[in-house]
Structure 1
Amino acid sequence: MKISLMKMILLLTITSSVLSGCSQGQTLADTDVQANEKIKIEYWHVNAETQGGKTVEELVNEFNAQSETTEVIAKYNPDMYKGLLQNLQAEVASGKSPAVVQIGWAFLDYFSNNFTYAQPQDIINEHFPEDKNFLADNFLPNVLSLAQNKDKKQIGIPYSLSTPVLYINKDILRESGLNENGPKTWEELVKFSNVIKEKTGKYGFYMQEPADNWAIQALLESNGARMITDGKASFASEEGISAYQTYANMVLDSKSALHISWDEGVNSFIDGNVGMLYTTIARRANVQKGAKFDVAAISSPTWSGKTKRLPAGGAFLAITATSKEEQKAAWEFEKYLYSVESMAKWTQGTGYVPPRKDVADAENGLKSFLEENQMMNAAIEQMDGVVSWASFPGDAGLQAEQILLDTRDKILGGSVSAEQGLKEAQEKINGLLK
């Protein structure tokens, strides 16, 4: 009896010790469940429903269903890349951070100077030796270099590549007595726009107006201007002023071009109220699905006698996870996004040109899709004119972008001329860069 009593006391002692190791209110069963739970990470993106948001949701759900270790929670950030960075600043200040974020090309330097990130190859080398050649094997060096800062650090991996194209409503062009294949130069585009307004009463042209100056850079630099020269803002040149004023005249004088929000402008084109839409190829899926008229996409216009310069749009993915476990989970998710199949779905759902080199020709990639979707050719054929999206150095990135946005509204609102607005903006930005 004494032996049995001792055994009982010993058993109770062991059981009590195990239970006390669990947190208050937990049972052994709860502890087992927690041990088997997936690690949860956040993925911050800027893809609204009309620009890839549904595809983001699809890819995240598919990843979560097949992963045994990681659950990704996607978080949409409005106001594009500038808005995401502002939200990221607040999140970091509160002591938290998402694991993976989309960073627009214009903010590469600003991001690398102001936020903590992990270089993808470092995570691979430490935790995934089987993937040591993943980046080198699947990306061209010049594409990878797009996501390197001035110190040649690989801040992230290119994910979205786009160029601006001109979507045209062939029905409106024919009704206006114009060439249904659209204008080839900006000078022709102005004439087309004015004729459409005169003949049909509809607007001839809309240029995208999101919370950035990506399309404006294409307009100005294709005319010979440069947004940045030797680390200084330089867009207020004769060429830059001339190009901007030509656009402003369409809005203010002939009133053949619209100055409204991005979604409103795209929807006006889809609804058949605008003859030509200048925006990213990433809107291809939305335009193609919504337009009930004879629609096409053609290459970005040039200025007569000038060389086309088109800023690379889109984003790279950066890993901002701080713990080792979250960094491992982040790479698992990124590797899934960069698979041939996922890249193909991303392009089909948006229109972005895939950064991975083998997606376009793979049978399980985009081969048949590209044969059936001729709109994509407009972006692919002009990749030789792609240049870097202007990224103002130092800590002035967000402020410089906002100054340019305010200047756009002043010029297109008619309160200042292109010359006055651009010169004042250039002076302000260069004051920040000193």
Structure 2
Amino acid sequence: MSAFTLRPRLMSVLLGLALSGNALAATEIPFWHSMEGELGKEVDSLAQRFNQAHPDYKIVPTYKGNYEQSLAAGIAAVRSGKAPAILQVYEVGTATMMASKAIVPVHEVFKDAGIPMDPKQFVPAVAGYYSDSKGQLISQPFNSSTPVLYYNKDAFKKAGLNPDQPPKTWQELAKDAAALRKAGMSCGYASGWQGWIQIENFSAWHALPVATKNNGFDGTDAVLEFNKPVQVRHIQMLEEMNKKGDFTYFGRKDESTSKFYNGDCGITTASSGSLADIKHYARFNFGVGMMPYDDTVPEAPQNAIIGGASLWVMKGKDASTYKGVAEFMQFLAQPEIAAEWHQKTGYLPITTAAYTLTKQQGFYDKNPGADIATRQMLNKDPLPFTKGMRLGNMPQIRTVVDEELEGVWTGKQTPQAALDNAVKRGNDLLRRFEQQVK
């Protein structure tokens, strides 16, 4: 065999090895998240699409449990020097992440990578939650949500209620839940995330602060104050519903969502991000409504505050990794991608362009109620204390709220005592955080 015959074959082999080497050289970017079920599938799909379009990088999404578990895993990984490049952290972990020395602000990541990023592209109410005092993004909004009301239209019809009219007020909800129970449902009303929905968002929706210092945005010396008459009266109403069997408590997370889509509960208040699972599993006609408000409070409804999570960039990675992170975050913010994520999951459109595109596509016309989360957030211009919260140790404060409210549902204490105790214990946690960051 001549050298001329060998040369093309040798070149083919070398070319194959080179291509293989390039594939192997793709920079892996670990991405830890808390999206399970249908949401987890959507995250995997986003990563796959990015990887196909950017062969130099490989986003590796990994489910690390619920928000609390993934935050704990992230903190442990930082201590062991094995942190992911991207960590999804829920909104109440913002103050903790800002105070940590384990993150690189998103605006710095983009600047160092030489990739343009305009913070003004994000919806102001969302971007403000994750920005510093100069308006620079410290983490990138991803899955932002507000609580919404889901109701079983078929069950409403059976109970003699108008299936096209969800309850607008808490007073109406109490009557509807009683009617559903009378019609044979085992659960009239249930709620997920009781601290976020029944305390934090209830307060904002009724133009009330959760804490002083504009809910902590103006300083770490904030003091909790959600034990006022309006909040106490609300918990008293839920207590009475619970005693009658019209309100059922299923747990601290989103346990009520499965109780709703399984057909056990006629009404639930849950994250707008639960829409994907409800669409997938519900075998009945359902509707979406705004959060109820107390019709004795003239300022209500005000505006909802966001929940969900953002993406944080962790320290200790090389320049190639950070460039890949910036490319991925830029990809997620593209109007087509952000609009699709919003439409498939029920989370808010995080950019103005995504919201505009969704409207232009006629999505809201074809899917009544899909814009409710956004409408609640934009219902009125936010007051200084209804734009969100920035309180240290907030995950632990939510646990305290859960513990104290559970004392009400089990008949062990009054609503006033529960909220007083939660405020006292929560303030102890705030003072501890204040000392840590001094």
TM-score (normalizing by structure 2): 0.83
1:366 CA displacement: 6.8
Residues in 1 aligned to 2:248 and 2:378: alpha-carbon distance in whole angstroms = 30
Partner amino acid, structure 1, of 2:351: R
Matched, 1:427 2:424: yes
Q: Which residue in the other structure is 2:391 paired with? A: 392
Partner amino acid, structure 2, of 1:178: L
Matched, 1:418 2:422: no
1:191 CA displacement: 1.4
8 A contact 2:107–2:138 mirrored in 1: no
Matched, 1:46 2:34: yes
1:88 CA displacement: 1.1
8 A contact 1:213–1:404 mirrored in 2: no
1:240 CA displacement: 1.5
Partner amino acid, structure 1, of 2:424: E
1:214 CA displacement: 4.2
Q: Which residue in the other structure is 2:76 paired with? A: 90
Matches within 5 A, 1:107-126: 107-126=93-112
Question: Residue 223 and residue 357 in structure 1: after superposition, are their counterparts in 2 closer, same or farther (change >3 A)?
Answer: closer
4+ runs deviating over 4 angstroms: 29-32, 150-153
From 272, 275, 278, the counterpart of 1:281: 272
1:78 CA displacement: 1.9
Residues in 1 aligned to 2:387 and 2:409: alpha-carbon distance in whole angstroms = 25
8 A contact 1:139–1:357 mirrored in 2: yes
1:351 CA displacement: 0.6
1:298 CA displacement: 1.1
- Structure 1, unaligned runs of 5 or more: 1-28
1:216 CA displacement: 3.4
8 A contact 2:150–2:288 mirrored in 1: yes
| SS, match of residue 354 in structure 2 | coil
Matched, 1:104 2:90: yes
1:32 CA displacement: 8.4
Partner amino acid, structure 1, of 2:158: E
Residues in 2 aligned to 1:384 and 1:30: alpha-carbon distance in whole angstroms = 53
Report the structure number with the largest CA radius of gyration: 1
Residues in 2 aligned to 1:88 and 1:165: alpha-carbon distance in whole angstroms = 29
Matched, 1:357 2:352: yes
Partner amino acid, structure 1, of 2:170: W
1:327 CA displacement: 1.2
Residues in 2 aligned to 1:319 and 1:366: alpha-carbon distance in whole angstroms = 33
1:340-385 Cα offsets, whole Å, 9 max, x none, are: 222122112211111111113338x972333322131322322224
1:273 CA displacement: 2.0
8 A contact 1:209–1:260 mirrored in 2: no
Question: Residue 72 and residue 198 in structure 1: after superposition, are their counterparts in 2 closer, same or farther (change >3 A)?
Answer: same
Residues in 1 aligned to 2:417 and 2:96: alpha-carbon distance in whole angstroms = 27
Identity %: 22
Question: Residue 152 and residue 407 in structure 1: after superposition, are their counterparts in 2 closer, same or farther (change >3 A)?
Answer: farther
Q: Which residue in the other structure is 1:17 paired with? A: none
8 A contact 2:199–2:231 mirrored in 1: no
- Structure 2, unaligned runs of 5 or more: 1-16, 214-221, 432-438
Partner amino acid, structure 2, of 1:391: R
Matches within 5 A, 1:128-207: 128=114, 131-132=115-116, 134-136=117-119, 138-150=121-133, 152-180=135-163, 181-207=165-191
1:67 CA displacement: 1.3
8 A contact 2:64–2:70 mirrored in 1: yes
8 A contact 2:94–2:390 mirrored in 1: yes
8 A contact 2:146–2:272 mirrored in 1: yes
Residues in 1 aligned to 2:304 and 2:419: alpha-carbon distance in whole angstroms = 20
Answer with 54-63 or 218-227: which moved more.
218-227
1:157 CA displacement: 1.9
Partner amino acid, structure 2, of 1:430: N
Question: Residue 429 and residue 34 in structure 1: after superposition, are their counterparts in 2 closer, same or farther (change >3 A)?
Answer: same
Residues in 1 aligned to 2:304 and 2:48: alpha-carbon distance in whole angstroms = 34
1:31 CA displacement: 13
8 A contact 1:173–1:182 mirrored in 2: no
1:34 CA displacement: 7.5
| SS, match of residue 311 in structure 1 | coil
1:215 CA displacement: 4.7
Matched, 1:57 2:44: yes
8 A contact 2:232–2:415 mirrored in 1: yes
From 316, 321, 329, the counterpart of 2:324: 329
TM-score (normalizing by structure 1): 0.84
Question: Residue 116 and residue 355 in structure 1: after superposition, are their counterparts in 2 closer, same or farther (change >3 A)?
Answer: same
1:200-232 Cα offsets, whole Å, 9 max, x none, are: 24311111137x634532234434543211311
1:403 CA displacement: 1.4
| SS, match of residue 44 in structure 1 | strand
Matched, 1:73 2:66: no
Q: How many residues align?
A: 396
| SS, match of residue 232 in structure 1 | coil
1:151 CA displacement: 6.6
CA RMSD of aligned residues (A): 2.5
8 A contact 1:44–1:74 mirrored in 2: yes
8 A contact 1:186–1:303 mirrored in 2: yes
1:113 CA displacement: 0.4
Residues in 1 aligned to 2:22 and 2:56: alpha-carbon distance in whole angstroms = 12
From 196, 208, 227, the counterpart of 2:192: 208
Q: Which residue in the other structure is 1:18 paired with? A: none
Q: Which residue in the other structure is 1:268 paired with? A: 259
Answer with 229-238 or 410-419: which moved more.
410-419
